[in-house]
Structure 1
Amino acid sequence: MAERPIGTESIDTEPFDTEPFATEHLTAHRRDATLVLTLNRPAARNAFSPSMLVGLHDGWMAADRDDTIRSIVLTGAGGAFCAGMDLKALGGADPEGENHRERLKADPDLHWKAMLRHHRPRKPVIAAVEGPCVAGGTELLQGTDIRVAGTSAVFGLFEVGRGLFPIGGSTVRLPRQIPRTHALEMLLTGRPYSADEALRIGLVGHVVPDGTALERALAIAARVNACGPLAVEAVKASVYDSAELTETEGLAAELARGWPILATEDAREGLRAFAEKREPRYRRA
């Protein structure tokens, strides 16, 4: 499908060819250069099922391969984001998921990559959260880059309250994303957090009226899409790759990654467009 110029589209998304990865519980649409992945199991508050996990995994991989996709928006259907893992569905209660369970057995890391524990997409991922985003939903959220929540969204890691351990990465990632005291309180109390509290502690970046999280996320994605794709991907990679380096190491790594971007045709195009007071036409070159 040919891209339309950024800024000319309506809010409604358009279906596109998702044959490789759309499943019963994961739908995909194309909005210009943004891939919109929707967790689509509203009767179960979008709890993870085999078909959802396989669809997510394949969606992330497809976005990485497709250079016409510049950003990804992740959201949920039916006024919910994700209520975490559905152990019954994963164990075989979902007859539609049998083929997908075979995929999960064949690749023991597939579900972790689907939940962004073992995989970081090279394109920016923007979460649009409405309703519950708890347990595995909050763990999936930690793999996203920019986060928008509706006013009534609810967050939380409930595992310890059930005698369980949140092994989706939260004990490692959460204290690196929000202040440790808040991370530990969320991890150790298992209590729910409102959208406003999630904003205050830095778990999300925007709180918007209910029903408008997707609209705001798509607007942010459109701004990302208007930027140089090589620069966007390099900046994202630099932020994450330097997180565990010393400042000196990180600055050296930044130069090594950033100088080649400054020498690209896209960088020259960006400067020309600025001087000529027009929108840039980036070509990933």
Structure 2
Amino acid sequence: MYRLLIVDDEKFIVESMLDLFSRQEDMELEILTAYYGEEALRLLQSKIDVILLDINMPGLSGIDVARQITQNWPLCRIIFLTGYSNFAYIYQSNLMKNTTYLLKTEGNETIAQAVKDAITEIEEEKRQQQICSQLEVNNVYLEYLLHLDILTDLLHGKKQYELQKSIQDMHNSFLFHTDSPVYLLYMKVKQKLSSENERDFHQYLVQITLFLRQGLNHKFKIVLADLDSRTFVAFLQPDYTAEDSATFVTPSTYIREGINEQLESLSSILPLHLF
């Protein structure tokens, strides 16, 4: 299921596009609509995959909305719509990643195909992201080993001064900032693992860490700690720039949206309960 947002200040355009995509049986879409830029921004708390965006709206323009959405959801494909050709708009839209520029007069078939192409691009980019280099796998596993004892001690209620000493002993190898919030994601394997799967459990942890990082667009530091062979906890800390923080949705919302996208992939690795 992909989430499509339609934004235009002309009501009949929004209704026409809503009708068009509601009838597209070959695309699984959740469709959202907005009639001005400020309303669209409020919807960006939810993950958006494709946006059909009127480039020239009163108040907040389509360009302004697009800049915001690329900060929050960088994989989102943006299809600018306009009633007339304007070189300045075309130039500005071409400066942005993952954008297409269409005239509203090009017809429903062309617009529908543009959305299909955008979804195909997203699927291909996801596949490419899942092709991880061995170096990245090794780095994730090393981070897991370095942090396992201290994160497990933290979960088991070890005294604060003892934890601080352990962090100091790690010098600069400790991944997290101790003065910033850390979010926890609790995961439990639904069924007992076979002996073969138990041997591969650490490999699963590495794979799941990589899936989570990709699903959250590498905007979080993530390390997993296993409590036993069926239970583990992901530690997540926001890791984004000052520019991002000015426009960023709340970390908990971003985690929820990113995790929802990865649930199917995670379930293909292990049958999980996520809390």
| Normalised-by-shorter TM-score class | under 0.3
Q: Higher helix share goes to which structure?
A: 2
Q: What TM-score do the two structures reach when normalised by structure 1? A: 0.26
Q: What TM-score do the two structures reach when normalised by structure 2? A: 0.27
Greater gyration radius: 2
Q: Higher strand share goes to which structure?
A: 2
